[in-house]
Structure 1
Amino acid sequence: MLFTDPERTPDPEAAADRLPRGAGVVYRAFGAPDAVARGRRLAAIARRRGLVLLAGADPELARRIGADGVHLPERLAARAGAVRRARPGWIVTAAAHGLPAARRALAAGADAVVLSPVFPSRSPSAGRPIGPLRLAALVRGGAFPAYALGGVSERTAARLLGTGVVGLAAVAALA
């Protein structure tokens, strides 16, 4: 999964165009004035390349751009059920920074959680890293679909093999 960020991913279209089939993109527009136009370009790339496109924290933007669903920050994860009822075919994921938050998101109706930060990260919202061993324990103990986010790179991703994590997520300028 690729999480876009206007500052760290200034060209999300180029980044999405390099992802393998089946990968996901969480388009985080953060209120950008060109959010719909850029989101529609990303949606076209996603359809052409077989990617899953989620809009970050904005079900209305997801609807307007034809996204496959929405990704909710932890503070909005309780809305997963309402989103699911409004859009039964959508994929709904939620951020979680620990097992209790992951369980709350899943109980609220999220399909999967994105656990973070796994490794030290430059993200302004990153807290203390979970680490690969604790991440593995959380995923195995919770028995839920999870993605790892935060400090994930080519080097650190290898440390997650065998943890039971469904996939990896990154915020990066891939272009």
Structure 2
Amino acid sequence: MGLPYSGCVARAKTLPALWLISDARNDAGLERALARLPRGSGLIYRHYHLDGPERLARFRALRRAAKARGHVVVLADSALTAREWGADGIYGAPRALWPRRADLLHLATAHDLAELGLAARLGADAALLSPVFPTRSHPGGATLGPVRFRLLARQSRLPVIALGGMSAPKARALKWPRWAAIDGLS
């Protein structure tokens, strides 16, 4: 079930509440994970471990599987590449999303209030605020924790997607409507 968001693309679509993020470690199970997600969820395709043609081929296969379930597909790359590959949007640090492209969904990464503000000023449609909980991606790294996450997210002018150690039980405990995961959905 998607929730409204504020960008130009919003007139035609809604921002998914649930996002699966691709990674080398969850690659083998991505098609199964996409099939299990509620219709209209989202996929953020990163696959930084693949180069050129191999990365594009894997993107196309996952985009087909995602679109068959009505999912939104966002690419961690440039707007030019997203358009060429047929992605619905781009994902990255706020400055990497600039200039704003009206035909693409823009999902910014953020780790604090300053980055949330920058993402809003640069026209992002939503921000993935992380890490909420400890993650396998950054073992031993500092986390926001539930209280700080909610404080920051509620101050944001953008819709916020919780990221970092997220799973369905943690999302319920966090009481936050939008979340993303690598391991927690794979």
Map 1:9-158 → 2, pairs under 5 A: 9-30=27-48, 32-33=50-51, 34-72=54-92, 74=93, 77-82=94-99, 84-85=100-101, 88-124=102-138, 127-158=141-172
- Contact 2:20/2:185 (8 A) holds in 1: no
Q: Deviations over 1:136-166 (max 9, x none)?
A: 11121224200000011133112211xxx44
Deviates more, 1:106-115 or 1:126-135: 126-135
- Given the two structures, how large is their TM-score scaled by the length of structure 1? 0.85
- Contact 2:167/2:184 (8 A) holds in 1: no
For 2:72, the aligned partner's letter is V
Aligned length: 166
For 1:55, the aligned partner's letter is L
- Contact 1:10/1:173 (8 A) holds in 2: no
Change over 3 Å in CA distance of 1:11–1:35 after alignment to 2: farther
1:31 deviates by 5.1
- How far apart in 2 are the matches of 1:168 and 1:126? 21
Identity of counterpart residues, as a percentage?
37
Q: Deviations over 1:46-65 (max 9, x none)?
A: 22211010011343442232
For 2:97, the aligned partner's letter is A
Could you list the runs of 4 or more consecutive aligned residues of structure 1 that deviate by over 4 angstroms after TM superposition?
none
- How far apart in 1 are the matches of 2:170 and 2:29? 24
- Contact 1:145/1:166 (8 A) holds in 2: no
- How far apart in 2 are the matches of 1:114 and 1:98? 11
SS of match in other structure, 2:108: strand
- Contact 1:97/1:115 (8 A) holds in 2: yes
Unaligned segments of structure 2, at least 5 residues: 1-18
- How far apart in 1 are the matches of 2:184 and 2:134? 17
